[in-house]
Chain A
Amino acid sequence: MGDILLDVIDLKIHFFTDEGVVKAVDGVDLAIERGKTLCLVGESGCGKSVTCRAFLRLIANPGRLVSGEMHFRSSTNGTIDLAQLDPKGSAIRDIRGKEIAMIFQEPMTSLSLMHTVGDQIMESVLLHENVLKPEARDRAIEMLQRVGIPKPDRLVDEYPFRLSGGMRQRAMIAMALSCNPTMLIADEPTTALDVTTQAQILDLMLDLQRQDNMTLMFITHDLGVVAEIADDVAVMYLGRIVERASVDTIFNAPQHPYTQALLRSIPKIAMQRDELDPIKGMVPSPYRRPSGCTFHPRCSRRIEACNRIVPSVTELAPGHTVRCLLYENIQETEALQHG
Chain B
Amino acid sequence: MWRYIARRFAYMLFTVWVISLISFILIQLPPGDFATKMVSQMLSGGAREVPPEVEAQLRAQYGLDQPVYVQYATWIGKIIFEGDFGYSFTYKRDAIELIFERLPMTFTISLFSVLFIWVVALPTGIYSAVNKYSLSDYLFTFVGFIGLAVPNFLLALILMFLSYKFSGQALIGLFSPEFADAPWSLAKVLDMLKHLWIPVIIVGMAGTASLIRTMRANLLDELNKPYVETARAKGLSELRLLWKYPVRHALNPFISTVGWTLPTLVGGEVIVSIVLNLPTSGPIILESLMQQDMYLSAGFILVLSTLTVVGTFVSDLLLAWLDPRIRLQ
Give the B-binding residues of A (Cβ under 8 A).
56, 58, 88, 90, 93-98, 101-102, 104, 106, 109-116, 123-124, 127-128, 159, 161-162, 172, 175
Give the A-binding residues of B (Cβ under 8 A).
225-227, 229-238, 244-245, 248-249, 322-325, 328
Q: How far is the CB of A8 from chain B (nearest CB, A)?
A: 18
A90: B residues at CB distance < 8 A: 237
Instruction: Pick the contact of B229: A58, A93, A95, A113 (CB < 8 A).
Output: A58
Q: How far is the CB of A160 from chain B (nearest CB, A)?
A: 9
Q: Report yes or no: A114 in contact with B324, Cβ–Cβ below 8 A.
A: yes
Closest to A98 in B: B235
B323: A residues at CB distance < 8 A: 114
Q: A112-B249, A113-B325, A159-B328 are in contact. Are A56 and B236 (CB under 8 A)?
A: no
Per the bound structure, the CA–CA distance linking A58 and B230 in Å amounts to 10
Can you show 15 pairs from A to B with CB atoms below 8 A apart?
A58-B229, A58-B232, A58-B233, A93-B235, A98-B235, A109-B227, A110-B227, A112-B231, A114-B323, A115-B245, A116-B324, A124-B234, A128-B235, A159-B325, A161-B324
Per the bound structure, the CA–CA distance linking A175 and B235 in Å amounts to 12
Q: Report yes or no: B234 in contact with A127, Cβ–Cβ below 8 A.
A: yes
Closest to B324 in A: A159
Inter-chain residue pair count (beta carbon < 8 A): 73
B230: A residues at CB distance < 8 A: 102, 104, 110-112, 172, 175
Per the bound structure, the CA–CA distance linking A102 and B325 in Å amounts to 26
Nearest first, the 9 closest Cβ-Cβ pairs linking A and B are A96-B235, A97-B234, A97-B235, A93-B235, A110-B226, A112-B227, A102-B233, A109-B226, A159-B324
Q: How far is the CB of A79 from chain B (nearest CB, A)?
A: 20
Query: Which of B225, B232, B249, B323 has the largest number of chain A CB atoms within 10 A?
Result: B232
Q: Report yes or no: B233 in contact with A97, Cβ–Cβ below 8 A.
A: yes
B225: A residues at CB distance < 8 A: 109
Q: A110-B227, A161-B325 are in contact. Are A96 and B234 (CB under 8 A)?
A: yes
Per the bound structure, the CA–CA distance linking A93 and B237 in Å amounts to 7
Q: How far is the CB of A59 from chain B (nearest CB, A)?
A: 11
